[in-house]
Structure 1
Amino acid sequence: MATLTSEFTVVDQHRTDRRSPIRWILSHQWRYRRYLVGLLGGSLVMVILNSAIPGLTGAAFDAVLTGGESGRSRLVLIVVALIAIVLLRGVFDLAARMCTEILAKRLERNAREELYTSLLGKSQTFHTRQRVGDLMARAANDVRQLSAMVSPGLDLIVDSMLQGLVPLVFIALIDPRLLLSPLLFGVAFGLSLRHYMRRLNPVSIRMREQFGTLNAGLNEAVRGIEVVKVTAQEAQERRQFETNARAYRDSFVEQGLVQARYLPPLLLAVGTAGALLHGLVLYRGGELTLGDLVAYLGLMGLLQFPTMISIFTFSLVQLGIVSARRIITLMDDEAELDQNPQGHQGRMRGELVFEDVSFGYGDDPVLRNLSFRAEPGQTVAIVGETGSGKSTMTKLVNRIYDPDKGRILIDGTDVRDWTLDSLRSQISTIEQDIVLFSRPVAENIAFSLGQRADRDEVVRAAKDAQAHGFIEELDEGYDTVIGERGVTLSGGQRQRLAIARALLTDPSILVLDDSTSAIDSATEDGIQRAIRRILQGRTTLLITHRLSQIRWADKVLLIQRGELIDQGTHDELLERCPLYRRIFAHYDEVTHPSPDGHADEEWGQLPAAGDGRVATAVPAYDGEEV
């Protein structure tokens, strides 16, 4: 069975090979083969022309020593040839550099698009366990490192490799015996470079990981700046940032120490000295001309470029490969859910059934053997203490998570048998933590429908959510751009926009997770009337502590520590369920404390029956929190 890496997949005609970072990079580059050919061809011609210059320089020495008319004629031809070579070299060099830049920027663009598409398709479980700052570091800095790996990294490596090989051919044309020193240098250079890369690799990995940690810490501090300010913990956050920044700095220092022990420049100096000695021996023996010796030493000088530039280029390539590995690891992280494109589709009626459902995060059980039924159009209120699993239960309905045991049916079909798109497009959720985007108000309301929603529908949904009034008071009305996460709006205004967004999708099932907690009672009354009017024929799961909302629910589920204690109408539970009665008696005591002045706040500490405290519900609490 194939490994799942995303919930939703996007058809891509350009499939990439993720078996290794190098294969993945090459599969991206192979899409632009003509530019690869342009890079390799242009660089090859440029290096050949460059390597011809020492030979012409040596020939010029011989022409000067020859003297006479023939020597002057040869010298003129050499000068013309040198000018032509320099001009042609510039043209081919420019073409190769342009091809490199195109390859680099397209790799960066395509890698970022592939990563972004992969992140959109990942499950909620995946995103829950990721640090946003580290994700941003991979999506921004690691992807940008791929571009630097190609240009100037790969570009210079191609030039340096050709610059190391082509001169050997020209040396062999002068005298094959002269290859002794450059070949010995080449072997030593290869071994030294291999040792250098093996030492550099773990340092590069730590650098990228520490950058992700640094970026994640910075992101968390900025996102939680309000908490930092109100708790006066600026000094603590500064120390934490300094610790992360110091670790990142230390990795750079370690990289510098590795680079400081880079041996090829020393090996080149030894090789050049050996080449000069060898050439002088042959020259004194009359087997080389002075021009040949000059050309030979000029060609040996060309080896200085690949030797000196490799300390820089291979570091860039190593960082690029490490970045590619980090990106691939993220994209190949296994998904828990499947899009199920061949699954059931259709318009929901809204019948919802839980059959012996259990679920936990890892080894921590949250829900145990939960069973209930909601008929189409019913409103089911879910009541329980904090941490009892109420929100988790609703996340099983739209398959944010799948149950560990049992099954959940919608209209008689297991939710796992629905296509994920059809399932989630007909279920709307409004949570306490409202997510808004830095976009106009109208776009935030119409987010679930994208371009399909017109302005009249947006306005109608806003009116139903009691949001139209304050939107009209904004500077540009529905075209006002709100801040990230709605920071320019009050909590109640953000919740009303979220309700409008949910109502616009015309859901068959609506989940309200304490969605009116930040709204005043008068506004809430209007919203509740609008919701009750609009939700005719729709199934609603309502997580709430407000008695006014619990009363008009068709069914109430009482959850304690992940187990369903009882279910029924509000009045039925008051009549037969001691725990349910004690809940409201407890809140009565919070409002009217007993003479000792103490009041229990956690449901797990509720007074036992018969301890003398009030044990009757107080119907007059309309609008009060329960």
Structure 2
Amino acid sequence: MAKKKQSPVHSLSESRALYLRLLSYVRPYWKVIALSLLATAITAATEPMFPALLKPLLDEGFAAAGNTRNGIFDDPVWIPLGIVGVFILRGIFNYFSSYGFAWVSQRVITDIREQMYARMVRLPASYFQNHASSVPMTKIAYDVGGVAGAATTVAVTVIKDSMTVIGLLGWLLWLNWQLTLVCFALIPVVAFVVKSFSGRLRQASRDSQKGMSHMLQILQESTLCNRVIKIFGGEAQEIARFSESNQAQRRYSMRASVAAAATTPITQLFAAVAVAVVVYVALQQSSSGTTTVGSFVSFITAMLMLLAPLKHLADVNAPLQRGLAAAESVFQLLDEELEEDSGTVNPDQVAGRIDFRHVSFRYPNAERDALADVSLSVAPGQTIALVGQSGGGKSTLATLVPRFYAPTSGQILLDGLDLQSYSLAGLRRHIGYVSQEVLLFNDTIAANIAYGAKRDASMDEIRAAARAANALEFIEAQPQGFDTLIGENGVRLSGGQRQRLAIARALLKNAPILILDEATSALDNESERAVQAALDTLMAGRTTLVIAHRLSTIEHADQIVVLNRGRVVEQGNHAELLAKEGAYAALYRNQLATGEPL
């Protein structure tokens, strides 16, 4: 079922809760954070040193020119050395601060991505049915970067620049508290500007993330369907579709840029007004002899140095809002409900008896049941073929056995025990699966056969499985044999070769229950014979559910179940159903006459 669209996070309390949850990923690295903060504090503390050096330089250094110098001005080299020393000190601690926070940022990105991926692979099948594959891909690959920026970079900017502002304001207060009050008047103005643009920035960031997901979906489809695009002349259509998505992404980015860019000139305008007022008041004080040249220059220098950290604090709102919007997206995935796995039974072996008792199932938002009151039994080692028109419920029935979905009503029993009583791992360990749409990994042939729980299988075991699947001959003909990379989803292999690799994978698993979902329907006759021979080997002695459109797979089944609109309309073996002259006989004659699949 599609998840209800979450309302935008606007309130301060919700934003605070979101940010605190984000910071929980930083907490494990608090030691590095503490050291980096210490380096940041030292860096910030050096900021007032430069304007502080200007006051004695102007009042006692230049003013004493031609007179006898006292103290540090006996040797003019001390002031330049002090200036260089301040910047060396700042550079050293700024390096350690930047490195430390960058290290934490990358660790946070890595941790969140691993947690998101671990969550994604355990999500129920309904999630992937209701979401394009680009949605989790964008969240994991793209959104996490914004999250890390909000968790570390924003925090660093706020802490470092706040310390700098405090240090400079402290120096300004010590120099001239009257002029400093003018600077204080700037702070609430900047805060108001930042708050005014926060909502717009957050919404623009959300739209940008959705646009990126849509763009990635188009790219993915264009890559996978490149032959369809070429043969049907769809280049112009796809270019137009990508251009529309690309332009939408540009508009989203520009909305965020407008909101972010507007804060800087507005902040600088008020800062300029503050500087003008300060200059005016300082000139008045100078004429009355209450301030010196050194004090004035030091004050102006410190005030101008104050503008940069204030600007950074104003600009930090943009990455903060992008980060919070990204955090919403990331936490949506992390908060998705996992597959229900409340079962505790984890048997070492099962006999393989399967009973469907009045099973009904309806997909979320569907108008009718995909299965309605289905009851049938499969004895251990028995082969049942599921046939019927497309949409009859064959694949749905098969997907209920490994608990990709749960029945809306009724029960499915394995060896007399409800499937829900088994843990998912305990159940699926005993089920093999081969489908028409073979799914392979961009890895070696050996790695695709020895996958998952069998990844540590010996080479002899892998070779034996390949031989039983009639795949050994073509594998050994490959350039690197079992070490040959097969490309994305086995693109370098033929359909029959990919199918036989999937069968070899199921043979190596050696599970007592087998599901074959139209495993030969898309193959040519020669490939079908090779695959069918491998399937005969695979099915021997196993409880097998076969969804098949070819007579070669159906005729020798122990039981044939005919499904129509989710209901069992006939059941029996091949000869019995032909003798009934019912639905199966009609399907059978139609295939003989037309050659079309059942």
- Residues 19 and 174 (structure 1), Cα distance of their counterparts in 2 relative to 1, 3 Å cut: closer
Q: What is aligned with 1:40? A: 37
Counterpart residue identity of residue 19, structure 2: I
Question: Which segment drifts farther, 141-150 or 362-371?
Answer: 141-150
* Aligned-partner Cα distance in 1 for 2:17–2:400: 36
Which one of 358, 361, 376 corresponds to residue 359 of structure 1?
361
C-alpha contact (below 8 Å) 1:163/1:302 kept by paired residues = no
SS in 2 for 1:482: coil
1:272 shift after superposition: 1.3
1:346 shift after superposition: 3.4
Q: What is aligned with 1:96? A: 97
* Aligned-partner Cα distance in 1 for 2:511–2:125: 21
- Residues 312 and 260 (structure 1), Cα distance of their counterparts in 2 relative to 1, 3 Å cut: closer
Q: What is aligned with 1:13? A: none
Alignment of 1:165-564 (within 5 A): 165-262=166-263, 263-310=266-313, 312-335=315-338, 337-340=339-342, 342-364=344-366, 365-521=369-525, 524-525=528-529, 527-564=531-568
* Aligned-partner Cα distance in 1 for 2:16–2:315: 27
- Residues 150 and 75 (structure 1), Cα distance of their counterparts in 2 relative to 1, 3 Å cut: farther
Counterpart residue identity of residue 296, structure 2: L
* Aligned-partner Cα distance in 2 for 1:534–1:498: 11
1:82 shift after superposition: 2.8
SS in 1 for 2:121: helix
1:419-444 CA-to-partner distances (Å, cap 9, x unmatched) read: 10011111011111111111110110
SS in 1 for 2:229: helix
1:549-583 CA-to-partner distances (Å, cap 9, x unmatched) read: 22211111011111001211111111225222222
1:381-405 CA-to-partner distances (Å, cap 9, x unmatched) read: 1111111110111000000000000
Question: Which segment drifts farther, 527-536 or 91-100?
Answer: 527-536
* Aligned-partner Cα distance in 1 for 2:250–2:536: 59
Counterpart residue identity of residue 51, structure 1: P
- Residues 313 and 465 (structure 1), Cα distance of their counterparts in 2 relative to 1, 3 Å cut: same
SS in 1 for 2:350: coil
1:201-253 CA-to-partner distances (Å, cap 9, x unmatched) read: 21222122212221222212222222212211110111111111111111222
1:126 shift after superposition: 0.9
Q: Which runs of 5+ in 2 are unaligned?
A: 4-13
C-alpha contact (below 8 Å) 1:437/1:484 kept by paired residues = yes
Alignment of 1:144-159 (within 5 A): 144-149=145-150, 153-159=154-160
SS in 2 for 1:50: coil
* Aligned-partner Cα distance in 2 for 1:448–1:86: 56
SS in 2 for 1:449: helix
* Aligned-partner Cα distance in 1 for 2:544–2:408: 24
TM-score by length of 2: 0.92
1:83 paired with 2:76, answer no
* Aligned-partner Cα distance in 1 for 2:577–2:275: 95
* Aligned-partner Cα distance in 2 for 1:526–1:240: 42
1:285 shift after superposition: 2.9
* Aligned-partner Cα distance in 1 for 2:194–2:167: 20
1:23 paired with 2:20, answer yes
C-alpha contact (below 8 Å) 1:145/1:319 kept by paired residues = yes
1:260 shift after superposition: 4.1
- Residues 533 and 37 (structure 1), Cα distance of their counterparts in 2 relative to 1, 3 Å cut: closer
* Aligned-partner Cα distance in 2 for 1:534–1:149: 53
Counterpart residue identity of residue 69, structure 2: E
Counterpart residue identity of residue 479, structure 2: D
* Aligned-partner Cα distance in 2 for 1:144–1:469: 47
Q: CA RMSD, aligned part only?
A: 2.3
C-alpha contact (below 8 Å) 1:207/1:251 kept by paired residues = yes
SS in 2 for 1:453: coil
Q: What is aligned with 2:55? A: 58
C-alpha contact (below 8 Å) 1:60/1:75 kept by paired residues = no
1:576 paired with 2:588, answer no
C-alpha contact (below 8 Å) 2:190/2:314 kept by paired residues = no
1:316 shift after superposition: 2.1
* Aligned-partner Cα distance in 2 for 1:18–1:250: 25
